[in-house]
Amino acid sequence: MREMRNAKRQITDEKRIDEIIMSCDCCRLGFVDGDEAYIVPLNFAFVKEDGKRVFYFHGASEGRKIDLIKANGKAGFEMDTNHALMPADTACNFSFAYQCVMGTGKISLVEDREKKAAYLNNIMKHYSDKNDWEFKDAVIDATAVIRLEVSEISCKEIPAMA
């Protein structure tokens, strides 16, 4: 886990980090594309595999994101939740409450059809609480399923003032 500049806002409890991840509804993947940054928001599933945090995503099987995954195999990620504006009497004293999780990892494409269907079900469970969806082979074949194994993670919380 990477140390933060303001350690009092850092969350280090592994269970709490996982809870915050599960409360998020979007994960942004970040890539380096030549001399440009490229960030894409995605739906996701979060699982633990052999004690490691792993995210799964889905999307089109062609395009910039897929090209960058194949070219580099590394990505950054960010997700945030529990946003709340904290107004004040002066502009510089306004603040914003939130929780965020950020990190980096090894990214790859899942090719096995059965695994793709299982991971698509995991994504659906995150959003629907149901994980017994059926997918037609043509849909599975046309859909990219992306795996990000987390290598570095940090978590931050700025709580809302009471």
DSSP per-residue string spanning 84-120: EEE--SSGGG-EEEEEEEEEEEEEEEE--HHHHHHHH
Q: Which amino acid is at 93?
A: N
- Whose tokens are 């043509």? That residue is 138
pLDDT-above-70 percentage for the chain: 94
Q: How far is CA 84 from the centre of its chain?
A: 21
Question: What's the average pLDDT block by block, 10 residues per block, for the chain (162 residues)?
Answer: 62 96 97 96 96 96 96 96 84 84 98 95 93 92 97 92 61
- Is the pTM value of this prediction over 0.75? yes
Taking every pair of Cα atoms in the chain, the longest distance, rounded to a whole number of angstroms, is 58
